[in-house]
Amino acid sequence: MFGWVWLILVLFVGLTVVYAVVSLYSRSVRKEKLERLWDEAPQSPDPAARDAFIDRGLAEYRGSLRRRLILLVYVVPVVFILLLVWLTNAN
């Protein structure tokens, strides 16, 4: 019984680290894209307008589907492990 608890704990910690890294990477890519969009066609010479544009874009990103899809980092490995356990025990 303790083995299962240990496996779940290690898996959860590992997947949390992977989720954090993927989430931070995705956010930084989005921020770079917004910065590039502004630099290609600046709408105002004011640096505060650029920051507001980037902040608005990141606020939209927080509610986006891409951000929610990153949660599949938790779902896919768990489903795969459960499938392997079921296939192993079915034989």
Q: What does the pLDDT look like over 6-60, one tens digit per residue? A: 988 999 999 999 999 999 999 999 999 999 999 998 888 888 999 999 999 999 9
pLDDT in tens, 79-90: 999 899 899 998
**Closest to 79 (Cα-Cα) out of 11, 10, 4:** 11
Residue 83: its H or E element: helix 72-90
The answer to whether 12 and 53 have CB atoms below 8 angstroms apart is no
Instruction: Return the residue matching tokens 């989430």.
Output: 23
CA distance 83 to 35: 43
Q: What amino acid occupies position 79?
A: V
